[in-house]
Structure 1
Amino acid sequence: MLTSQVAQKFQEIFASNGALLVRSPGRVNLIGEHTDYNNGFVLPAAVDKAIYLAIARRPDDEIQLFAMDLGQSYRGPIRPPLTPSALHWPNYILGIVEQLQGMGFTIGGFNCVFAGDIPLGAGMSSSAALENAVIFALNLIFGLGLDPMTMVRLSQKAENEFVGLQCGIMDMFASMFGRKDQVIRLDCRSLEYTYFPFKAPGLRILLLDTQVEHSLASSEYNVRRQQCEAGVKLVQRHHPEVKSLRDVTLEMLSAHVAPVDELIWRRCSFVVEENARVLSGTEDLLRGDLAAFGEKMYASHDGLSQKYEVSCAESDWLVGQVRGVEGVIGARQMGGGFGGCTINLVEEELIDGLVTRLAPLYREVMKRDLKWYIGRIEDGTSAV
């Protein structure tokens, strides 16, 4: 158990048993891709892969960190201004400290050991889990009185401003607010959220890792944002009340975008349709109609591949191989695209047979090894 291993390592390094233990999970997003920066809806959930952290106050103004998975240490002063570390991983922790100092909190020195079982590069947001673990722990040991939403916002700002990655809020939100056997419909404009049941005995989340690096993801991500904004501007000429694609209908796109720029129409229509899939998909969950929900996952993938064009040959192949297979409810590309994982809802007893069939085929066709991860929906960040 990672909790006990982290606690034991903390005791070994710092000769102390008085550490607070925190678990902070990774996340998946069942449906709702590229909708977040268009003020739309997403449907994430926390999973049973997490960062485990042991932390305690120090009597001085030093920070001492140990990353068990890397076998690396960091030591430095907590006094501002904090400077980024060349090791990179301490910056997720230092960024949180900087945000708290910026709010006027006096944070003393602390010791920290952490490890995790969130697969790196699988799109499950290990960085958001670490940031949430740190701010949750510091809030407790220094008695800061922060509410969960404030902690989520600060985690996002830490990654945006100190780490330098312009991520949205979904990853931190899902990690902090997750609930066992429930998914969260998050309104990315208002940050209002609603839980929906995802109780499906015997059904598991299977991530199939393409082993393709997201080499195009960052540059093409910015291009997609610009294309969405271009579509909004075309609609605004006729509907000045429109602020984002969240406010746009397919009829508006057909009337004001399609005649002008077919590519922009395809990009924007995917986002509008994807928002609709999230909203109707949650109705499927309320009815317990997982088959209908799964069809929306397949439709999401088709849109990501053909309209938004952020899939890749490997993801398309994997989704094509499971489509129509008995016991596979739904599948699609997950995350920004151009690699990473497909997310699949599969009956647990069929997973071994499925991956046993797919792995050698994937190696033969795509000349890559297939990795896979099995998960279930769990609670969000908490003390252990």
Structure 2
Amino acid sequence: MLLAQAIATAFRQRFQHEPLLVRAPGRVNLIGEHTDYNGGFVLPAAVDKEIYFAVGLNQTDTIQLVAHDLDKTFSVATNGVQRSKTLWANYLLGVVAQFQKRGIQVPGFDCVFGGTIPMGAGMSSSAAVECGLAFALDQLLETQLDRMTLAHMAQKAEHEFAGVQSGLMDQFASLFGQAGQVVRLDCRSLAYEYFPFDTSACHIVLCNSGVKHSLASSEYNTRRQECERGVTILQQHYPAVQSLRDATREQVQALREELGEVVYRRCLYVVEENLRVEAACHHLLAGNLQAFGQEMYASHAGLRDQYEVSCRELDVLVAAAQTAPGVFGARMMGGGFGGCTINLISPEQVDSFIAHQKAAYQQQLGLPLETYSATIVAGVGLWAGPAEV
């Protein structure tokens, strides 16, 4: 909470008025990777790596933004909001633009923000920034927009101002997270359901490979195209298949030759990953973390061999985890070609697991390893800071 207090203090000292204090969490995705843009299922949770905001209306027509961590400022007239060359500001400006597009007049405001979400670790710091400001403006302007609307606005901000065609999962998880719960989102209907996740029986540890291979963005678009090609072929034989969400394993296997080996593997992975998400939810309800972990290992194998978005660093981390005591499951998390593995560990083994992973990573690749322990927390909300810090 020291950072949150520092942000509140910085706001009061700089702007001389009282802010609204908001916290917006990052997220992890336990299972369900590359299923979102195929209309499938994901299983994210909000975690205690967060962005803190101090925001207040300033009775002018100027928006003043302060990136506390970067020690950078940005200001713009309320009627001049557009994409800028200041990349960090675009995530915030994009949110303002979404309010304006709805015909909501956004007056001048001051904003100081900063956080504890590690950059480049795949925990969706950008979504937390967008959702936190969207929530703060909704509170200050009393627009009474529901959380799903705010999630869509934050996603559009990312598309239009940051230029990233993300799915809805990141923004959804940041806004809809609940402490001690993971949430299964149907990315097609947007129906969602909470499942208990007992953090006293199992801890989440992320291992950051520290690499981001340049393949990531181009290969991401290629995978989307390969899946779309698969759907086109499947539709010719099974008209009910509107997305890979509708396809069965048997249908994909029956068309293996026509799909071609690469598209066949991509489609089979997505179909099987959706089945794994559903199975994983049943395991959570039954309290069977061992079985849940097996679904995670199978997910990683699919991402490595069928979807081909893993890399040596991630594979080394998952293989090392499989030999460590107290590990329920592990897999790569996120788009791939770098980023983090997510690991479920019995609480008494967390320290030895981290030491084991660091040693294995150094020994096999000569690389240092950064790790983060994460607790599942509630989604975006007000932070009741002290009146004076």
Q: SS of the residue aligned with 2:210?
A: coil
Report the counterpart of residue 45 of structure 1 in structure 2: 45
- The root-mean-square deviation of aligned C-alpha atoms, in Å, is 1.1
Task: Give the 5 Å matches for 1:99-248.
Answer: 99-248=98-247
Matched residue type, 2:252: L
Q: SS of the residue aligned with 2:338?
A: coil
Q: Deviations over 1:321-342 (max 9, x none)?
A: 1114321110000000000000
CA contact (8 A) 1:214 1:340 kept: no
Report the counterpart of residue 34 of structure 1 in structure 2: 34
> What is the total number of aligned residue pairs between the two structures?
382
Matched residue type, 1:13: R
CA contact (8 A) 2:199 2:375 kept: no
Report the counterpart of residue 287 of structure 1 in structure 2: 286
Matched residue type, 2:3: L
Matched residue type, 2:59: P
Report the counterpart of residue 11 of structure 2 in structure 1: 10
Matched residue type, 2:8: A
Distance in 2 between the 1:125 and 1:174 partners?
Answer: 10
- CA shift at 1:144, angstroms? 1.0
Matched residue type, 2:370: K
CA contact (8 A) 1:176 1:381 kept: yes
Distance in 1 between the 2:357 and 2:41 partners?
Answer: 32
Q: Deviations over 1:9-60 (max 9, x none)?
A: 11111122x1100000000000000000000000000001100000000111
Q: SS of the residue aligned with 2:262?
A: helix
- Asked whether 1:75 is paired with 2:62, we answer no
Report the counterpart of residue 60 of structure 2 in structure 1: 60
CA contact (8 A) 1:204 1:345 kept: yes
Q: Deviations over 1:303-350 (max 9, x none)?
A: 000111100001111100111432111000000000000000012332
Matched residue type, 2:100: Q
Q: SS of the residue aligned with 1:48?
A: strand
Q: Deviations over 1:186-231 (max 9, x none)?
A: 0000000000000141421100000111411110011111111111
Q: SS of the residue aligned with 2:45?
A: strand
Q: SS of the residue aligned with 2:371?
A: strand
Distance in 1 between the 2:277 and 2:257 partners?
Answer: 24
Report the counterpart of residue 387 of structure 2 in structure 1: none
- CA shift at 1:352, angstroms? 1.8
- CA shift at 1:240, angstroms? 1.5
CA contact (8 A) 2:230 2:259 kept: no
Q: SS of the residue aligned with 2:87?
A: coil
Greater displacement, 355-364 / 279-288: 355-364
Distance in 1 between the 2:323 and 2:294 partners?
Answer: 10
CA contact (8 A) 1:196 1:286 kept: yes
CA contact (8 A) 2:208 2:369 kept: yes
CA contact (8 A) 1:234 1:257 kept: no
- CA shift at 1:260, angstroms? 4.3
CA contact (8 A) 2:320 2:360 kept: no
Distance in 2 between the 1:210 and 1:349 partners?
Answer: 24
Q: TM-score, normalised by structure 1?
A: 0.97
CA contact (8 A) 1:207 1:372 kept: yes
Distance in 1 between the 2:78 and 2:346 partners?
Answer: 49
Matched residue type, 1:331: A
Task: Give the 5 Å matches for 1:318-329.
Answer: 318-329=317-328
Cα pair distance change 1:214/1:382, threshold 3 Å: farther
Q: Deviations over 1:154-210 (max 9, x none)?
A: 000010011111111000000000000000000000000000000141421100000
Matched residue type, 2:4: T
- Asked whether 1:317 is paired with 2:325, we answer no
- CA shift at 1:83, angstroms? 2.6
Q: SS of the residue aligned with 1:369?
A: coil
Matched residue type, 1:156: Q
- CA shift at 1:117, angstroms? 0.2
Distance in 2 between the 1:98 and 1:286 partners?
Answer: 41
Report the counterpart of residue 91 of structure 1 in structure 2: 90
- CA shift at 1:97, angstroms? 0.6
Matched residue type, 1:318: L
- CA shift at 1:369, angstroms? 1.4
Any stretches of 5+ residues in structure 1 without a counterpart? none
Distance in 2 between the 1:111 and 1:344 partners?
Answer: 39
Distance in 2 between the 1:192 and 1:379 partners?
Answer: 19
Q: SS of the residue aligned with 2:337?
A: coil
Greater displacement, 38-47 / 249-258: 249-258
CA contact (8 A) 1:26 1:175 kept: yes
CA contact (8 A) 2:128 2:174 kept: yes
Distance in 1 between the 2:362 and 2:253 partners?
Answer: 42
Task: Give the 5 Å matches for 1:362-377.
Answer: 362-377=361-376
Matched residue type, 1:89: W
- CA shift at 1:368, angstroms? 1.8
CA contact (8 A) 1:64 1:74 kept: yes
Cα pair distance change 1:313/1:357, threshold 3 Å: same
